[in-house]
Amino acid sequence: MKYRYLGNSGFKVGEMTYGNWLTHASQIDDAAAIATVHAALDAGITSFDTADVYANQAAEVVLGKALSGQRREGLEIFTKCYWPVAASGPNDTGLSRKHIMESINGSLKRLGVDYFDLYQAHRFDYETPLEETMQAFADIVRQGKALYIGVSEWRAEEIAAGHKLAKDLGIQLISNQPQYSMLWRVIEAEVIPTSESLGVSQIVWSPMAQGVLTGKYLPGQQAPAGSRGAHEKVAKPMERLLTNEELLRRVQLLKPLADDCGATMAQFALAWVLRNSNVSSAIVGATTPEQIKANVGALEIQIPDDVAKVAEDILGDSAVFDPAETKSPPARLT
């Protein structure tokens, strides 16, 4: 495993982070999930990302079981809060002090750990004063429940405002967790330049566009059996991609480029996001140990500038660039 600093801090994370958004307690059973986590550990992955909302708290429990017995100091464990879990009462959503404090306590218990290396705001909360949110995060850091603070899917101006308050409070906001891939490039125009100026870096999710960039989904054909796209529940967020025949056709044209780099299409997609110096880590999910072992091979892939340019030109306007696509709910869910 190769490591990069997270933001302007002394904290290093693996260039590849294992995430369990749509897999644990959802797409695969616990035994398969634990086997995949152990395969990730065997492959050198030490960074793990989850959230309380994943599988309505159950994903955190499964990850906790899978990591039980590992040397805690040798792991980097991240989780997030914002969305309602278990119940949807008036205080069960958002970034109020009440919800943050209750959320981190629940996550610590479910993971079976004493602290998180990184605790993240899963979205921006327009109904809670940012000062309240950042003060709660500062107290969490001072209590030793989290070492560093991050955010997820915040816009450039929101990251800047949160970073300033964090600095005033004597804590570090060091990361943002956005969606980023060859097909979803909305952070490039504003979020990345702002982050670079502040000493904030990205831990990106869906670097393979939920599997579409692996090339497994072919135009005019049903999703392969056992794939995420064939799963009745977890395929829903992919519907926009899977029904776009032109997009799927263009993705197939990337295969010769990947071949020339000695990479699978999945490795090619991962290596592409890691070319960005503001990306500290790419989050990968997996349903089998074989997938995770293959994904780690992306760390050895080098994509020349001219090859990357050809890939980007092939995808063309199939990729999304508009910074306005970075969105948080306008109001809390009730």
CATH number of residue 97's parent domain? 3.20.20.100
Please give the pLDDT value at position 244: 86
Asked, for residue 294, whether it belongs to a domain, the answer is yes
Give 54: exposed, middle or buried? Use CB within 10 Å, 0-12, 13-18, 19+: buried
pLDDT digits (tens, 9 = 90+) for 297-315: 999 999 999 999 999 999 9
Alpha-carbon dihedral sign for residues 174, 177, 183, 187: negative
Q: Is 288 part of any domain? A: yes
| Nearest CA-CA partner of 151 in 168, 126, 134 | 134
In this prediction, residue 235 carries a pLDDT of 59
Q: In three state form, how does the secondary structure of the chain look? A: CCEEECCCCCCEEECEEEECCCCECCCECHHHHHHHHHHHHHCCCCEEECCCCCCCCHHHHHHHHHHCCCCHHHCEEEEEECCCCCCCCCCCCCCCHHHHHHHHHHHHHHHCCCCEEEEEECCCCCCCCHHHHHHHHHHHHHCCCEEEEEECCCCHHHHHHHHHHHHHCCCCEEEECCECECCECCCCCCHHHHHHHHCCEEEEECCCCCCHHHCCCCCCCCCCCCCHHHCCCCCHHHHHHHCCHHHHHHHHCCHHHHHHCCCCHHHHHHHHHHCCCCEEEEEECCCCHHHHHHHHHHHHCCCCHHHHHHHHHHHHHHCECCHHHCCCCCCCCC
Phi, psi (deg, nearest 5) at residue 17: -115, 135
Does 80 reside within a domain?
A: yes
Phi, psi (5° rounding) for residue 241?
-80, -45
Task: Yes or no: say if 214 and 175 are a contact pair by the CB < 8 Å rule.
Answer: no
Alpha-carbon distances, residue 82 vs 30, 67, 102, 128, 302 (angstroms): 25, 24, 11, 11, 37
Residue 154 placed within a domain: yes
Query: How many alpha carbons fall within 13 Å on the CB side of residue 135?
Result: 8
Residue 14 domain flag = yes
User: What's residue 269's pLDDT?
Assistant: 98
DSSP lists the bridge partners of residue 14 as 3
Q: What is the number of structural domains in the chain? A: 1
CA distance 317 to 155: 22
Residue 245 forms part of a structural domain = no
Would you say residue 182 lies in a domain? yes
Extract the residue ranges of the chain whose pLDDT is less than 70. 25, 224-237, 333-334
With 0-12 CB in 10 A as exposed, 13-18 as middle and 19+ as buried, what is 114? exposed
Token pair 């989850």 in the structure block, residue? 50
Residues of the domain holding 54: 3-211+276-303
CA dist 239 and 167 (Å) reads: 41
CA 106 vs. chain centroid, Å, equals 21
Q: What is the pLDDT of residue 334?
A: 55
Read off the tokens for 125. 């909360």
Please check whether residue 79 lies inside any domain of the structure. Answer: yes
Phi and psi torsions of 254, nearest 5°: -80, -15
Tell me the catalytic residues.
54
